[in-house]
C-alpha cells in the first residue's frame, strides 16, 4: 500500500475547511433570510395594528364598515370605508412586490389571493381600483384580470 504524502494531507484538510466554511456561510444566509422574513411579518403586524387602532379611535368597527351596505353608511363612514379600500390596495401591491422578490412566503401569498377578489369587487370604491390598477405591475394586473368582476353586472 502506498503512503500518502504530507502535502496531500494538507490539501485535503484545506479542502475540507473550505467546504465547512461554505456550509457555515450557507447556514448563516438561511438564518438571515428567516430573520428578514420575520421582521417583515412584524412590520406588517405593526402597520395593521396602527391602522386598526386609527379606525377604532374614530369609534368605528372595521368589520362593520367593510361588511355593511355602503349606501346605509354615514358620509364619514363612507369616507372611512373608501380609505380602507385604498389601504388594502397599498397592502396588496406591497405584498405582491415582496412575493415577486421571493421575500414573501408562498403559503402566505396563497392565503392573500382571496383578498384580491374581495377588494376588486368593492364596487363602491371602483374608482380607486381603476386608478390603482393602472400603476400595478403587469403580472399583478394579470392576476386581477382573471378574477370575476361583479361590479360590471
Domain count, the chain: 1
Mean pLDDT of 60-76: 90
> Is residue 16, in this structure, part of any structural domain at all?
no
Residue 67 falls inside a structural domain: yes
Interior angle at CA 79, CA 77 and CA 84, nearest 5? 90
Give the predicted TM-score (pTM) of the model.
0.72
In a domain, residue 7? The reply is no
CB neighbour class for 140 (10 Å; exposed up to 12, middle 13-18, buried from 19):
buried
Cα torsion 110, 78, 87, 147 to 10°: value is 30
Residue 118 lies in a domain: yes
Which of residues 138 and 106 earns the better pLDDT score? 138
Q: 38 pLDDT band (50/70/90 cuts)?
A: confident
Angstrom distance (rounded) from CA 18 to CA 87 = 49
CA–CA dist 48, 111 (Å, integer)? 16
Residue 27 has pLDDT above 60, yes or no: yes
Largest alpha-carbon pair distance within the chain?
A: 93
* Residues spanned by the domain of 99: 58-145
Query: Is 70 part of any domain?
Result: yes
Tell me whether residue 26 is in a domain. no
Torsion on CA atoms 53, 54, 58, 64, rounded to nearest 10: -70
**75 part of a folded domain:** yes
Q: What percent of the chain has pLDDT over 90?
A: 41
Amino acid at each position: 500500500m502506498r503512503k500518502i504524502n504530507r502535502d496531500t494531507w494538507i490539501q485535503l484538510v484545506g479542502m475540507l475547511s473550505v467546504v465547512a466554511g461554505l456550509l457555515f456561510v450557507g447556514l448563516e444566509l438561511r438564518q438571515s433570510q428567516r430573520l428578514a422574513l420575520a421582521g417583515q411579518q412584524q412590520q406588517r403586524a405593526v402597520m395593521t395594528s396602527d391602522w386598526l387602532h386609527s379606525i377604532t379611535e374614530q369609534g368605528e368597527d372595521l368589520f362593520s364598515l367593510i361588511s355593511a351596505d355602503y349606501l346605509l353608511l354615514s358620509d364619514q363612514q363612507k369616507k372611512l370605508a373608501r380609505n380602507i379600500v385604498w389601504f388594502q390596495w397599498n397592502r396588496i401591491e406591497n405584498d405582491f412586490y415582496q412575493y415577486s422578490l421571493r421575500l414573501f412566503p408562498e403559503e402566505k401569498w396563497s392565503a392573500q389571493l382571496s383578498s384580491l377578489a374581495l377588494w376588486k369587487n368593492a364596487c363602491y370604491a371602483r374608482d380607486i381600483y381603476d386608478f390603482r390598477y393602472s400603476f400595478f405591475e403587469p403580472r399583478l394586473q394579470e392576476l386581477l384580470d382573471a378574477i370575476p368582476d361583479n361590479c360590471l353586472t
